[in-house]
Structure 1
Amino acid sequence: MLDTKALCKTVCRIVVAATGLPADHVIVGDPGGPAPAGSYCAVRLQNPEQFGQAHATQRDVPALDDPQYEDIIVRVATQFTLGFSVNFYRDGAVANAAALCEANKREPVKSLLRSAKLGWSRVSGINNLTGLYQGGMEERAQLTLYLYGESIAEDRVQRIYRVGFEVQTEQSGAIAQGEVNGLSG
């Protein structure tokens, strides 16, 4: 399952590393609170999209009910492209947005991506949204940062090791009984 809050916080740290904005001026978008004073940035996950085929693997583990048997853990890793709307406000908005372009080449950003197990895809074009706001000009810029990530789900599958059976014929009514035991080979 995607932890959208943790993903947004990681992107906030990437923005801080790339732009030099103070950490308390890079916020998760739509918080319902007041905007920070001065230049700031708001980050919001907008469109996670699944791509490619999920990677499915399995491994044997001791069964929970009897350790002489084994269960299977099936792990499915679904790959996503994660689009984050990154909005810059006030002085330096366009320059801050431009600082994200090719930021994946910078060591602090590489480190943040590695620790969050994310991959860099691309940055959209910068939208210069500078315009009148409350009677004065306010610099604004927006871009979309695309990252690669994955969501992992694991399920325990119990194996059937012993099955009893009974077979009866229609003509003679003869009955055969038995058991199939997976431990006997």
Structure 2
Amino acid sequence: MTNIELYKLLRPAVATASGVPKIIMAGQNKEPPAGSYASIHVRTDIRERGMAFKRRRLLPDNETFEHTIRSQQEVTCVVEFYRDGAKEYAANLLQADKRDDIVWTLYKAGLCIMETGPVLDLTALQSNQYEERARVDIRLRMEVERKYEINRIMEVHGTVQSEDGADLQPFDARA
């Protein structure tokens, strides 16, 4: 799942739970929207959980093995709220993992909300006036699948030698 795909899944969930009127993707170097809004920064922290699952299968060409590694990851996404009502919008996001109108959409996409919070007050002086700001982390669990291919060893040629290095017997092994 790409960062854009993850953002597109989180955006409606954040909008539904928080009630914030506008949501943008973080780090776009664009002018901020007017009024209250939120930004979502996906994958600010990624860690693995347990050991990955590995599967190997022989492809129809009968020469290539396809290896699939499915790792379980815990991913942190940061939601920052700006301007009037920022702390209230952020607090509304807490316990979003209990909302049926959010969790099942994420679940179908292979995501599970592990936890939300805490609400951090980031209120700051902006152009000689205080601007209300808040931040909430959303920790997700997801499975990530990576595939690679490797060719089979089809034949091996070798020679058996004595202790002093004299050739005794050549051999060929074929699959």
Return the offset for 1:97.
1.0
Return the offset for 1:49.
2.0
Name the residue aligned to 1:5.
4
Identity of aligned residues (%): 28
What whole-Å deviation, never above 9, does each CA across 1:2-31 have from its counterpart, x for those lacking one? 623332332223212222334xx1111111
Name the residue aligned to 2:59.
61
Q: How many residues align?
A: 174
CA distance in 2, matches of 1:100, 1:81: 19
CA gap of 1:174–1:7, structure 2 versus 1, over 3 A, is closer
Name the residue aligned to 2:16.
17
CA distance in 2, matches of 1:73, 1:179: 26
Name the residue aligned to 2:45.
47
More strand by share: 2
Tell me which amino acid in the other structure corresponds to 2:15: V
Partner SS state of residue 109, structure 1: helix
**Superposition RMSD in Å:** 2.5
TM-score under structure 1 length normalisation? 0.80
**2:69 maps to 1:76:** yes
Partner SS state of residue 45, structure 2: coil
TM-score under structure 2 length normalisation? 0.84
Name the residue aligned to 2:88.
95
Return the offset for 1:44.
1.0
CA distance in 2, matches of 1:143, 1:180: 61
Question: Is residue 89–residue 138 contact of structure 1 (8 Å, CA) maintained in 2?
Answer: yes
CA distance in 1, matches of 2:167, 2:137: 73
CA gap of 1:169–1:139, structure 2 versus 1, over 3 A, is closer
What whole-Å deviation, never above 9, does each CA across 1:35-80 have from its counterpart, x for those lacking one? 11111001113212223212211122212xxxxx243211112222
Name the residue aligned to 1:104.
97
Unaligned runs of 5+ in 2: none
Partner SS state of residue 13, structure 1: helix
Name the residue aligned to 1:134.
127
CA distance in 2, matches of 1:175, 1:131: 82
Question: Is residue 9–residue 28 contact of structure 1 (8 Å, CA) maintained in 2?
Answer: no
Name the residue aligned to 1:123.
116
Question: Is residue 124–residue 131 contact of structure 2 (8 Å, CA) maintained in 1?
Answer: yes
